[in-house]
Structure 1
Amino acid sequence: MKRLILGSQSPRRKDLLHLAGYDFEVRPSRAEEIMEKTLSPDEAVLYLARFKAEAISLKENEVLLTSDTVVVQDNEILGKPADLQEARNHLKRLSGRTHQVYTGVCISTVEEQKEFFVLTDVTFFPLTDDEIDDYIETGEVWDKAGSYGIQGKGALFVEKIHGDYYSVVGLPLARVVRELKTFGIVGS
């Protein structure tokens, strides 16, 4: 019997896998994520998902799922904010504009590895300084690429989305379910 391993501590990714009915073990990568600045956004998320996968040892019957998500505005990757000012700057840049969210996924066994990425466009309403400051006060900005969580109060900023909502949350669930089936992993 094959066993699914989630190579992430993300509560959002855990919740999504539970939503799809999977039983899995959490085994996060302890490797420090270092990314080449010259990579395109799609290359970056695939690199980071693969990097996480390669840092986790697997047994013969295990299937490992790793992923990474980045927010891109004007061809610049907006990562997780380092401080209040960076969070504020991210949200001001996203205000009233469309940005891209890339999520890269790597599914691995000891024999093979499959990678893919999903691109979603997200458009924000124009945001006031007060809205930005109030949102920062919620604390949602800290562990999120681009300084917002679409599954939380950040949803109030979203005017429209074109693509996979769950990819913006952190895991393109429908695609992941289909890919995991090819590895013999099926949810309930």
Structure 2
Amino acid sequence: MADQKIPLDSPPAYDDADAATEPLIERPAAATSPKAPPPPQRPLGPRLPLPLDLPALNMIRGKRIILASASPRRRQLLAQIGLTNLEIIPSTLPENRPKSLGPFEYVLQTAEQKARAIYTQEIDSAKGEPALVLAADTVVSTHTGQILEKPRSEKEHLIMLKLLRDQNNGWHKVYTAVVCMAPLDSLADPGYAMETHVEETAVKFDQNVTDELIASYVRTREGADKAGGYGIQGTGSILVEKIDGTHDNVVGLPLRATLMVIEKVVVQTEVPEEVGAVL
């Protein structure tokens, strides 16, 4: 993406900066006309895009939307589709699904567990029932199916990154499961709609990455809270040669797929008028 030009503050006026000093240049007497008003200040930073105008997003805008994750990266990605007013309520349940499930089932069951826990906790909240609960889980898997989550120590972090570099010519896979839940307006059992999706992206580490570079990266601690021990959106990109799949899935949330899951679950919560009349 091209760099955005960020407007800088105006330089300080000479009158303000040099009020207590002798002027270097003779100036004529000040005119008697009133001083012109200062120009309006422009906001710093690039202007944010307008939110997506989509029926499903419009239906939940202004309502309770809960992200069952403390990940700032997922929050930033959701902001890109206009979901900025989120409640952050991470699940506190242990993520202890058996690794024998394999990475696909492991992330799906873990994300479902997070979503159900927060939905059950908040459905009768004094704030009102949530319009949407969104949960996700990400793991990295070696070519043999070994699941790698967040490193638990610096030593484990080093071993993890060297493993990803050295096995299968540096190729490994990243899986992210997305689960969305919303209450149904009808009395249909079980009273909520749920939609899920699991995204897979293949990532190749550069096999020329040295042990010294890996150790230096580990010391930055950037990857300490990330599945697989690296952040592709940050300094960790220096470890990666290429990917096959969606970049934001490696970051922690496949945005296009997440939007599709939100649209599916929100549409299911609508009660057709003829059905509502019968009820």
1:124 counterpart residue number: 205
Distance 1:179-1:131 versus aligned 2 partners, 3 A rule: same
Give the residue type in structure 1 aligned to 2:106. A
**Which one-letter code corresponds to 1:81 in the other structure?**
P
Provide TM-score, normalisation by structure 1: 0.93
Structure 1 residue ranges without an equivalent (≥5): none
Pairs within 5 Å for 1:89-168? 89-95=159-165, 96-110=169-183, 111-126=192-207, 127-168=209-250
| 1:45 partnered with 2:140 | no
Within the candidate set 18, 32, 57, 2:94 is matched to 32
The answer on whether the counterparts of 2:139 and 2:147 sit within 8 Å (CA) in structure 1 is yes
Unpaired runs of at least 5, structure 2:
1-58, 124-128, 184-191, 268-279
SS in 1 for 2:100: coil
Secondary structure of the corresponding residue to residue 256 of structure 2: helix
Q: What is the CA–CA distance in structure 2 between the aligned matches of 1:70 and 1:155, rounded to whole Å?
A: 17
> Per the alignment, in what secondary structure is the counterpart of residue 98 of structure 2?
coil
| Map of 2:34 onto structure 1 | none
Distance 2:249 2:117 in 1: 23
The list of structure 1 runs, each at least 4 consecutive aligned residues, that deviate by more than 6 angstroms after superposition, is none
Give the drift of 1:182: 2.8
The Cα shift of 1:11 comes to 0.7
Please give the secondary structure, in 1, of the residue aligned with 2:236.
Answer: helix
Give, as a single letter, the amino acid of the residue that structure 1 aligns with 2:75. K
Over aligned residues, Cα RMSD in angstroms? 1.5
In structure 2, the partner of 1:68 is: 137
1:4/1:64 contact within 8 Å kept = yes
Is the 1:103–1:118 contact (alpha carbons within 8 Å) kept by the matching residues of 2?
Answer: yes
Aligned mates of 1:112, 1:28 — CA distance in 2: 20
For 2:135, the aligned partner's letter is T
Larger Rg belongs to: 2
Matches of 2:86 and 2:76, distance apart in 1: 11
TM-score by length of 2: 0.63
Quote the residue 1:179 is aligned against.
261
Rounded Cα–Cα distance in structure 1 between residues aligned with 2:221 and 2:195: 35
**Structure 1 residue 61: deviation in Å?**
4.5
Q: What is the match of residue 71 of structure 2?
A: 10
Number of matched residues?
185
Contact 1:12 1:169 in 2 (8 A): yes
1:145 and 1:24 map into 2 onto residues whose CA distance is: 23
- 2:222 partner SS: coil
CA distance in 2, matches of 1:24, 1:48: 21
Contact (CA 8 Å) 1:58, 1:109: kept in 2 or not? Answer: no
Residue 158 of structure 2: aligned partner: 88
Q: Residues of 2 paired with 1:61 and 1:134: CA distance?
A: 44
Decide whether the 8 Å contact of 1:8 with 1:28 is kept in 2.
yes
